[in-house]
Structure 1
């Protein structure tokens, strides 16, 4: 009998974990307890030394009990939670990275931590394309104007008319699973795609029909720039005032990746001067942004509340990826997506 805590939320419901684990680990006798945290109705935030978590350490400890396996998306798996859970052997996180897990504490305790790469790649890529189109063609602005009783015929005037993707140069900062899908769609529109990513290979870029360039060259050449990089200490404020100054006059900037990639302070002035032609954001340096956030009053800004990955298939896929790795672990096999692979050498009965 393996005890499992399915700690879900209002997006990846605990029952999604239960169903996926029951199907994929059918050869094992599992018993479940569940916990539902408040995200996304309640914003995530730092908890007990981990970031982007939902719920409290006490909630997790009470629900976890003697469970050996924890499947979650947002629950805080802190050093305290790990230290007070001696039976815990495996944590599966239904996200692109286990940012809500104290990975050093888990590694020290011999707890395997897995994650769910690319679980929202299609959803996030589609959303990014939607933001690009909305910014280039004034879709959200004209919708709001018409609903308020204004027929903006002047948007058809030559000086106000939108820009087509066909023939435009679009720069993608980051070329992981999401960036590759975005590139494929952009090329179908007829756009020329530039990519800046130190981990992307030139052979891969040539195969995909995109051009791999340095970041500064990408910014100088692109009429649209879309961010798809991971947030790390090295990429914090990757696009700052100096980088923004490289953009062509009237360029459009899209960020649906992570708020910390972008320095937001220069943006209102760049938009008001027309130096930046449009801005589309799904992520922010503070979430949610405060009511007096300067960009709310700036022109040509589209804002959405961190929705890029919000599809039902994303939730289903995330739970399934976690369940597959749990099943492998219980079968004595190496899970596919392990954040601390050095722990696997210390797991008894795990086949090499």
Structure 2
């Protein structure tokens, strides 16, 4: 079995190649190609464009035109695998070292009989940790206080000073209850909060296991003191949190997003924050990345913003290719259906 591994600035081909040899044996044939945009800013911009528009919006390395032809398996991380590349390839499988597959033309792969496998839950621990960190940072002005002190200011008054409270007794609303949502609920269990969930696919036994209550999106927006978004971005979920949902939120409620920016209507959120219709927001993902220097978010006092850091830990990057390749090897050996295969 011949592998093609496609690295990028976050996960190199050498790392991917090492994982293939560890899981499938040192004598496994592996081709290595790396996607190397001109700068980190260009990489993040192209990555965000692919997230929104699909693999055709990216600029994969020219070497892939030839490299894809004579391999059985393609392993990628963020590098876009377009319809053109898929049609030129004789591969049977494409593996993505991410939970999402926005960088792969899945429709083209299916048309050619190529199975696409993603890495479910690969950064769930990292993102769930970061989600709770953002909740606390926004609630208690941790980042804002740090920023003020760095500037030499002993600041005690903030945009939420009139309603700032404790985590205890708050209602937390989780939009999406997959790997990450479940871990957030589990990690919040020591904070003495109530948790409501909006997820049309969650089962009753799962709700009971995590001691959460299922509600409609409308009810979640009305009840929650903090709303955290953990859904997948798709045509159905694009703009899931829009003007209507924001209008239902309490004026003291916070919106947290460590998932995908497209799940929230950008214009509606900016307006809600500028007009103080909600208490504030903490965002790790943006509609265009890097975040433009003149973006309105930079001027707002009721937001905490971080540069897409939630899933970016060394632990996550180091273990991801191993998670994917172990699941792939198991599938090859047992032929049992895997939930990691994209339907």
TM-score surpassing 0.5?
Answer: yes
Equivalences for residues 83-162 of structure 1 within 5 A = 83-86=87-90, 88-154=91-157, 159-160=161-162, 162=164
- Mapped contact 1:271–1:278 kept (Cα < 8 A): yes
Deviation at 1:180, TM superposition (A): 0.5
Q: TM-score of the superposition, structure 1-length normalised?
A: 0.88
Look up the SS of the partner of 2:63 in the other structure: helix
Tell me the residue number matched to 1:200.
Answer: 202
- Mapped contact 2:55–2:105 kept (Cα < 8 A): no
Higher deviation after alignment, 73-82 or 129-138: 73-82
> For structure 1, which runs of at least 5 residues remain unmatched after alignment?
342-352
- Mapped contact 2:36–2:61 kept (Cα < 8 A): no
Correspondence for 2:36 among 35, 38, 44: 38
1:68 equivalenced with 2:72 (yes/no): yes
- Mapped contact 2:68–2:85 kept (Cα < 8 A): no
Distance in 2 (alpha carbons) for counterparts of 1:200 and 1:334: 23
- Mapped contact 2:273–2:300 kept (Cα < 8 A): yes
Higher deviation after alignment, 170-179 or 49-58: 49-58
- Mapped contact 2:19–2:321 kept (Cα < 8 A): yes
Distance in 1 (alpha carbons) for counterparts of 2:69 and 2:88: 9
Correspondence for 1:257 among 250, 259, 276: 259
Higher deviation after alignment, 269-278 or 190-199: 269-278
Change (3 A) 1:223 1:327: same
- Mapped contact 2:7–2:13 kept (Cα < 8 A): yes
Deviation at 1:198, TM superposition (A): 0.6
Change (3 A) 1:52 1:178: farther
Q: TM-score of the superposition, structure 2-length normalised?
A: 0.90
Distance in 1 (alpha carbons) for counterparts of 2:251 and 2:116: 46
- Mapped contact 2:34–2:61 kept (Cα < 8 A): no
Higher deviation after alignment, 11-20 or 251-260: 11-20
1:247 equivalenced with 2:249 (yes/no): yes
- Mapped contact 1:127–1:308 kept (Cα < 8 A): yes
- Structure 1 or 2, whichever has the larger Rg, is 1
- Mapped contact 1:25–1:326 kept (Cα < 8 A): no
> For structure 2, which runs of at least 5 residues remain unmatched after alignment?
none
User: Which digits, 9 at most, give the CA deviation of each residue in 1:229-263, with x for residues without a partner?
Assistant: 11111111111111101111211111111111101
Alignment RMSD: 2.5
Tell me the residue number matched to 2:20.
Answer: 21
Deviation at 1:151, TM superposition (A): 0.5
Distance in 1 (alpha carbons) for counterparts of 2:193 and 2:36: 41
Deviation at 1:340, TM superposition (A): 4.7
Higher deviation after alignment, 72-81 or 114-123: 72-81
Tell me the residue number matched to 1:173.
Answer: 175
